[in-house]
Amino acid sequence: MKAADLLEEMPYLNPYKQYGKVTRVVGLTIESKGPRTSVGELCYIYPQEKSNPVLAEVVGFKDKFVQLMPLKQTIEISPGSLVEATKKPLQIKAGNNIIGKVIDGTGQPLDGSKLPDGLTPVPTEAEPPNPLLRPRIKEPLALGIKAIDGLLTVGKGQRIGIFAGSGVGKSTILSMLTRHSEADVNVIALIGERGREVKDFIERDLGEEGMKKSVVVVATSDQPALMRIKGAMTATAVAEYFRDQGKQVNLMMDSVTRFAMAQREIGLAVGEPPTTKGYTPSVFAMLPRLLERSGTSQKGSITAFYTVLVDGDDLNEPIADAVRGILDGHFVLDRKLADKGHYPAINVLQSISRVMEDLVDDHHHYAAESLRHYLSTYTESEDLINIGAYKKGSSKEVDKAIKMHPIINKFLQQDTNAEYSFEKIRQALIEQFGKGE
């Protein structure tokens, strides 16, 4: 900073630091008397023992006390510990040099190394793009997965939910999207996942090639709720940075449900009333704030994939229902298909891409609708067919659906390492299910 700039800033500089003292710790929250601060600002809490300060965020106020939530464990904090106000919210650093890195919810390398030079400070909280300034989604994004490119075509800047119970293949889908997609940069957020799964995902699912154009943000389930929230916000902020550079970005978050659970923990800790299934009102306010930040802008686009863990495969549970209403489409992974060895286990009849009609030509659209019609007809009569109660010739449509069913299954199934171009998928779909069939 130049001398002239320093002189200009001098009248606004505060020579004093603001401090408070911890009065009590209740569950997840730390209460302190002072300092003067506001919601969302960071504070340092200094344990009385000689150890590193604990970073915490102001999450609310109760009477004259400040309520803080730590980003790390609170084992060493005791009554009387000093609380220092920083007067600023959490910022991370982003840039091309973090591609290939694994970082935590505060933007620091997870392996304990130092951040590279030449990075730009970026706030983790940001406003979504102005709705009137968002370009429409008009260009398809090739993902290399037949069931998606053919029947659920995704556009650049679209936001998609991947809905599934546990163990049905969400991580496998994400790894396929990462390896096969034509995006410039992948930003992958592992929120509330098991610690064991992090290295598995990086080495097995992502691989060396996938990592070369990816940034992985990790906040595991053992970390405080606020760290899991910050993990999701940090990943979105990194994706926004690359979007502002004019890049085509893929943002993949696993999972939004664990983000919502973390916000529920925080809400209940600060005294919010529980509503549906114990989720607090702030959860349903936070979801659109997070999800609307992705998508198109005047500079670039973020195509986002958010996994949603549905309890007991119930697609109408509160978080799944709320997310489905915000996003531009959803893929439903079906446990029955997975049990049959049908991968990827996408139930195309329950899935939808809300912008597909704007992205594909009439021949592609007709062929996709024909496949859906055959599959729907077969599904309606499947029980009768399986027990031998259906007699051939009873219905021309059912006869046709039975004939087409093996062809449909062959088209929808795909090995995780197999990759197909968008044009090849389109041609195969039209040849097998188009007007000439």
User: Pairing state of beta strands 42-46 and 54-62?
Assistant: antiparallel
Given 89, 114, 130, the domain boundary residue is: 89
Q: What is the pLDDT of residue 13?
A: 54
Are both 55 and 101 inside the same structural domain? no
Q: Please state the domain count of the chain.
A: 3
Residue 6 within any structural domain of the chain: no
Confidence band for 239, pLDDT divided at 50, 70 and 90:
very high
pLDDT higher for 170 or 314? 170
Are both 250 and 131 inside the same structural domain? yes
Question: How far is C-alpha 244 from the geometric centre of its chain's CA atoms?
Answer: 19
Are both 260 and 375 inside the same structural domain? no
Q: What is the pLDDT of residue 195?
A: 81
Digit-coded pLDDT (tens) for 292-341? 999 999 999 999 999 998 877 778 889 999 999 999 999 999 988 988 88
Are both 79 and 218 inside the same structural domain? no
pLDDT higher for 390 or 100? 100
Q: What is the pLDDT of residue 436?
A: 45
Residue 2 within any structural domain of the chain: no
Asked if residue 2 has pLDDT above 60, the reply is no
Residue 4 within any structural domain of the chain: no
Q: Residue 65 pairs with which residues in a beta bridge?
A: 33, 62
Q: What is the pLDDT of residue 50?
A: 64
Are both 302 and 380 inside the same structural domain? no
Give the CATH number for residue 339. 3.40.50.12240
Asked if residue 129 has pLDDT above 80, the reply is yes
Mean pLDDT of 8-22: 69
Element housing 70 (H / E): strand 65-70
Distance from C-alpha of 229 to C-alpha of 55, rounded to nearest angstrom: 14
Digit-coded pLDDT (tens) for 246-256? 999 999 998 89
Asked if residue 159 has pLDDT above 70, the reply is yes
Residue 327 within any structural domain of the chain: yes
Q: Which of 365, 387, 369 is nearest to 377 (CA)?
A: 369
Given 35, 62, 89, the domain boundary residue is: 89
Confidence band for 390, pLDDT divided at 50, 70 and 90:
confident
Q: What is the pLDDT of residue 207?
A: 79
Most confident of 19-28, 266-275, 351-360: 351-360
Are both 103 and 239 inside the same structural domain? yes
Digit-coded pLDDT (tens) for 267-277? 998 888 988 88
Asked if residue 437 has pLDDT above 50, the reply is no
Q: What is the pLDDT of residue 341?
A: 86
Asked if residue 8 has pLDDT above 70, the reply is no
Q: What is the pLDDT of residue 339?
A: 87
Q: Percent of the chain, pLDDT > 70?
A: 95
Residue 12 within any structural domain of the chain: no
Q: Percent of the chain, pLDDT > 90?
A: 60
Are both 211 and 237 inside the same structural domain? yes
Are both 295 and 242 inside the same structural domain? yes
Task: Determine whether 133 is exposed, middle or buried from the number of CB atoms within 10 Å of its CB (0-12, 13-18, 19+).
Answer: exposed
Are both 42 and 105 inside the same structural domain? no
Give the CATH number for residue 69. 2.40.10.170
Mean pLDDT of 200-210: 81
Residue 275 within any structural domain of the chain: yes
pLDDT higher for 436 or 11? 11
Confidence band for 147, pLDDT divided at 50, 70 and 90:
very high
Compute the Cα dihedral for 398, 399, 400, 405 and give only its sign: positive
36 touches 239 (CB < 8 A): no
Asked if residue 77 has pLDDT above 60, the reply is yes
Domain hosting 119: range is 92-354
Are both 22 and 167 inside the same structural domain? no
DSSP string spanning 155-193?
BTT-EEEEEE-TTSSHHHHHHHHHHH---SEEEEEEES-
Return the DSSP state at 96.
G
pTM: 0.90
- The CB-based long-range contact list for 100-104 (8 Å cut-off, 24+ gap) reads 100/211, 100/212, 100/213, 100/214, 100/215, 101/215, 101/216, 102/198, 102/202, 102/216, 102/217, 102/218, 103/215, 103/216, 103/217, 103/218, 103/234, 104/217, 104/218, 104/219, 104/227, 104/231
Out of 159-168, 214-223, 294-303, 305-314, pick the least confident: 305-314
Given 46, 67, 89, the domain boundary residue is: 89
pLDDT higher for 111 or 236? 236
Are both 234 and 341 inside the same structural domain? yes
Most confident of 268-277, 279-288, 415-424: 279-288
DSSP string spanning 269-289?
HTTPPP-GGG--HHHHHHHHH
Structure tokens that stand for 377 in this block: 């007809």
Digit-coded pLDDT (tens) for 107-126? 999 988 899 888 999 999 99
Q: Spell out the alpha helix ranges (H) of 300-395.
A: 318-326, 335-339, 356-359, 362-380, 382-387
Residue 284 within any structural domain of the chain: yes
Asked if residue 12 has pLDDT above 60, the reply is no
Q: What is the mean pLDDT of the chain?
A: 88
